[in-house]
Amino acid sequence: MKIWLDGALRDIESARVSVFDHGLTVGDGIFETVKAVDGKPFALTRHLDRLTRSARGLGLPDPDHDEVRRACAAVLEANPMPLGRLRITYTGGHGPLGSDRGEHGPTLVVALGETARRPDSTAVITVPWTRNERGALTGLKTTSYAENVVALARAHEHGASEALFANTVGQLCEGTGSNVFVVLDGEIHTPPLASGCLAGITRALAIEWTGAVETELPLDVLERADEIFLTSTLRDIQAVHRVDDREPPGAPGPVTAKAMRIFDERSGADQDP
């Protein structure tokens, strides 16, 4: 396996990052997960734009898009696989212990893992912890994911593949690594970015392609929604067949099934840029 680290393709066994890299010590880093089908990244321009937004939010220098594109192409070429997940990680770089940023430039790593197409439907749980819709990191795709790791572990304990959060005012927000949509009277709704959710790339495409509307939704909408689905880079559109102990009728129901068909058709076309 070859990865890209700071300007060159390297064997994963010999690639080294400082133990004082602030991505490791204080979670001062950002990332993107990009789907790659037959060696071709999907929606890379959108991912690079979000990477830059996250960098600016954290006060990191703008990532060099040309370098990241070259890195992705080199890693994909060196590690052929039918369905891969590119992981772009960009951190504050190494520096003294503590939370101040060091004088060294950022660290860029691009790695690739093999992945599989997700099942058409899945179970989810809701968790009692809240997303902060007004935090300094809200909306940024940072490497500070420990809260998601904890919530996902709880989901797995309950036989579910995703955990959904409300925000601090009780509105439906998002999952640990996905956005959430509900169908009410035939219309598709998803929480607005002001709910504190990430601006998911799959979410944006699903809104564009299905006409879903952004609506503030209380968490208990999950108890009365006709259909529920998740979106993410690795799930595409995935129906929800269980929320906690409740099973929404038909998963995928007719509206979700149509959205899945539209997404499959449209995402097959070149989405980059």
Using CB under 6 A as the binding criterion, the count of chain residues that bind ligand PLP stands at 13
Q: Which of 54, 202, 210, 238 is close enough to bind ligand PLP by CB under 6 A?
A: 202
Q: Which stretch binds ligand PLP (CB under 6 A): 3-11, 53-61, 121-129, 194-202?
A: 194-202
For residue 201, state whether it binds ligand PLP (rule: CB under 6 A). yes
* CA-wise closest residue to 43 among 52, 34, 51: 34
* Cα–Cα distance measured from residue 90 to residue 92, given in angstroms and rounded to the nearest whole number: 7
22-61 binders of ligand PLP (CB under 6 A): 33
Residue nearest to ligand PLP (CB): 200
Q: Helix, strand, or coil here: 50?
A: helix
- CA separation, residue 154 to residues 30, 120, 143, 150, 176 (Å): 24, 22, 20, 6, 11
Residue nearer to ligand PLP on the CB measure, 22 or 50: 50
* Cα–Cα distance measured from residue 67 to residue 203, given in angstroms and rounded to the nearest whole number: 26
Half-sphere exposure of 69 (CA within 13 A, CB side): 11
* CA-wise closest residue to 171 among 153, 149, 189, 159: 189
Q: Which stretch binds ligand PLP (CB under 6 A): 90-98, 176-184, 185-193, 241-249?
A: 176-184
Got the DSSP string for 84-98?
EEEEEEEE--B-SSS
Q: Which of 107, 121, 179, 210 is close enough to bind ligand PLP by CB under 6 A?
A: 179
* Cα–Cα distance measured from residue 247 to residue 253, given in angstroms and rounded to the nearest whole number: 12
Q: Which sign, positive or negative, has the C-alpha torsion 253, 177, 84, 156?
A: negative
Give min distance, CB of 48 to ligand PLP, in A.
12
For residue 198, state whether it binds ligand PLP (rule: CB under 6 A). yes
Binding mask 212-251 for ligand PLP (x = CB under 6 A): -------------------xxx------------------
Give min distance, CB of 235 to ligand PLP, in A.
8
Residue nearer to ligand PLP on the CB measure, 19 or 116: 116
- Name residues whose C-beta falls within 8 Å of residue 162's C-beta, 6 or more positions apart in sequence: 122, 124, 125, 152, 155, 175, 176, 177, 178, 230
Give min distance, CB of 201 to ligand PLP, in A.
4
For residue 142, state whether it binds ligand PLP (rule: CB under 6 A). no
Place of tokens 């001062």: 28
Q: Which of 178, 195, 210, 256 is close enough to bind ligand PLP by CB under 6 A?
A: 178
| Residues near ligand PLP (CB under 6 A) | 33, 174, 177-179, 198, 200-203, 231-233
